[in-house]
Amino acid sequence: MHVPPGRLNPGGRDRRAQLAARGIAVEGSAEVIEVLGRGPRIWRWFDEVRHRFAERALVLCTSPEHAALVTALAVGDRSGLSREAEDELAASGLVHLLASSGLHLAVVALLIRELARRAWLRMPWAHRLRAGVFGAAIALPFAAFEVLLLGAPWPAVRAGVGASVVLLGSAAARRTDGLTTLALGAASCALVDPAATHDLALQLSVTGIAGLILLARPLRDLLPVPRPASGAPIWRRFLEHLLGLGCATGAAALCTAPLLAAAFHRLSLVSIAANALGLLPGLAAIPVATLLVPFDLLLLWWIADLLAAATLAASHFFASLPFATAVIAAPGLIACVLWYAGVLLCVRRAFRAALAPWALLAILAGSRAAIAHAREGMNIVFLAVGQGDSAVVQLPEGHAMLIDAGGDLRWPGKFDPGARDIVPALAELGIHRLDVVVLTHPHPDHAGGLMTVLDRMSVGELWMTAERDPIASAVRARAARRGVPVREPHESSLGGVRVEVLSRFEEGWSLNDNSIVLRLVHGEVAVLFAGDAEALAEADLAQSGAELRAQVLKAPHHGSRTSSTEAFLRRVAPAFTVYCVGAGNRFGFPNPEVVERTPGVHFLTSEGAVVAESDGHMVQVHRWQE
């Protein structure tokens, strides 16, 4: 058992705060688990409903992706969605369809209320009770059922409270105020558990709805297109519908942008167009998928499958557009205050004020990029990516390199270090283009996040060895698709820093021994990246006559017993050694014998990112701190 770590990398997530928002203070693992008791029967029943629905979807939908999306829309279970599908939904700005939030409840509750109201009006005894009262009485239990079916996440609880207020208001023939209803729902969550205020999904839900209430109409008023008169042609009314969806999406995007930037370091630039043109299939799929829970009809399954296919096709189209997303740094408190001040000015219908948030974003992005470009020294950040390697190298004149891209020991791994750690770190460091990305060798713990880096970043060239491993082939294919040239490593100079290639490729050597070994020389300072080189490659390097001396050594093979031989260490003579290891890794890296025979000061990335700063004369190595 241990306390969860806080923020380990620049731009990284604060796992301790995330778990605290869910009421979790410690985490751990166990070899044997004994079940002492089970939860309430109602929760087990809902779990069984979700499980059976997911199995049924796999049988009746035409593809696993369609089944996964229908399951996510109906019961809130996103576990079946592939990483690629979620990434495309996020890039297109349609990922909010997956949120177990007000969208589901609003669509379901209002649809059921309207159907019940219309059905009641056809009854001969309809005069005995107002149709609004009957519709609310029928819709309220369905709304409560939907909250429980989704697993009662905070956004759904907030929306459930809001939907109840609206339904009760309609039953009493009273109008409800949107902001008051929203505040009541959010306050209810905070009263139940104050830690809920730290839940990102709840924050996005509240700010997004607030944007719809405050900004959608003013944004529409700013457009130079008049609203259609009654009796206008169908195409004109359809255009108004598209404009309305676009303004609603833009309003929500304006209010959620700082939160998304802080959490994911990524913004969709096509979300307004994608929601205006591609949202309808997803919206239609929500009630259809929800109706499949009580009514297991083949016709409904066919419709849901068709709508899921259309939604995924729309997200793929918009996500594939050039510059669909922007990688940005997390805004600070002052930037957020200025942003929302500009957004509030937009409510005053001032056109220039409407442009203020976007102008501010451009200024902030430009200033950060200018600071990064003006760097004079060499700055290396060894990232904490679990049991894997990844180092960001910032060079003078705005040049940058990435050496390896982390990952776990499986391909593809359980998590994506590219999305979780590397791209956010690059954004936080003000890096928007990588001159060179180096894959030292095609093992999952070095290549696990590389696909995401190639997809989201501008990359000059990719350095790889001539290995014909399946992982290497997959990386080459992705690089070709993204238009990134793949080259064998070669000596070069970037921003006055000399990049020396010390390794050589030998047929018959292991992937580890064929690792690319680089020596970066910045004035009088040298840093040696040894990949996963083992004893054979180290002996070859030690006998080669090449200059190996370096003040900073990235320990070969994570400090394994099969590496860091005495002859190699004598040639390098490091003052600082960085071991890229995962906390509590099952290999026992770094090996105690290796640590004992390695000179100098030692740093482990399991405790957080490590920073090496060089001015060309001296180098300072320290642990990264917020």
Task: Render pLDDT for 518-577 as a digit per residue (tens, 0 to 9).
Answer: 999 999 999 999 999 999 999 999 998 899 999 999 999 999 999 999 999 999 999 999
Task: Please state the three-class secondary structure of 511-580 as a single string.
Answer: CCCCCCCEEEEECCEEEEECCCCCHHHHHHHHHCCCCCCCCEEECHHHHCCCCCCHHHHHHHCCCEEEEC
Query: Does residue 259 belong to any structural domain of this protein?
Result: yes
CA atoms within 13 A on the CB side of 321: 20
Query: Does residue 499 belong to any structural domain of this protein?
Result: yes
Query: Is there a single domain that holds both residue 287 and residue 391?
Result: no
CATH code of the domain in which 420 resides = 3.60.15.10
Query: Is there a single domain that holds both residue 274 and residue 135?
Result: yes
Query: Is there a single domain that holds both residue 460 and residue 326?
Result: no
Domain hosting residue 199, numbered range: 72-330
Span 65-98, pLDDT tens digits:
999 999 988 888 888 888 888 889 888 888 877 7
At 383 the pLDDT is 95
Structure tokens at 522: 């910045």
Structure tokens at 453: 């880096």
Answer yes or no: is pLDDT of 349 > 70: no
At 482 the pLDDT is 92
Query: Does residue 59 belong to any structural domain of this protein?
Result: no
Query: Is there a single domain that holds both residue 239 and residue 272?
Result: yes
Which of 371, 396, 426 lies at the terminal end of a domain, its last residue? 371
Strand 378-382, strand 458-463: pairing: unpaired
Span 398-457, pLDDT tens digits:
999 999 998 776 766 678 899 889 999 999 898 989 999 999 999 999 999 999 999 999
Rounded to whole angstroms, how far apart are CA atoms 618 and 286? 60
Q: How many domains does the chain have?
A: 3
Query: Is there a single domain that holds both residue 76 and residue 129?
Result: yes
Rounded to whole angstroms, how far apart are CA atoms 382 and 624? 9
Query: Is there a single domain that holds both residue 198 and residue 321?
Result: yes
At 367 the pLDDT is 53
Query: Does residue 65 belong to any structural domain of this protein?
Result: no
Query: Does residue 524 belong to any structural domain of this protein?
Result: yes
Which of 312, 330, 348 lies at the terminal end of a domain, its last residue? 330
Per-residue confidence band for 217, with pLDDT thresholds at 50, 70 and 90: confident
Query: Does residue 8 belong to any structural domain of this protein?
Result: no
Distances (CA, A) of 113 to 108, 135, 562: 9, 4, 69
Query: Is there a single domain that holds both residue 354 and residue 463?
Result: no
Query: Is there a single domain that holds both residue 314 and residue 439?
Result: no
pTM for this predicted structure: 0.79
Strand 576-579, strand 601-604: pairing: parallel
Rounded to whole angstroms, how far apart are CA atoms 548 and 550? 6
- Phi and psi, residue 88, nearest 5°: -70, -40
- Phi and psi, residue 49, nearest 5°: -60, -45
Answer yes or no: is pLDDT of 351 > 50: no
Residue 265: other Cβ atoms inside 10 A: 22
Which of 371, 398, 423 lies at the terminal end of a domain, its last residue? 371
Check: CB of residue 437 under 8 Å from CB of residue 450: yes
Query: Is there a single domain that holds both residue 568 and residue 445?
Result: yes
Query: Is there a single domain that holds both residue 125 and residue 178?
Result: yes
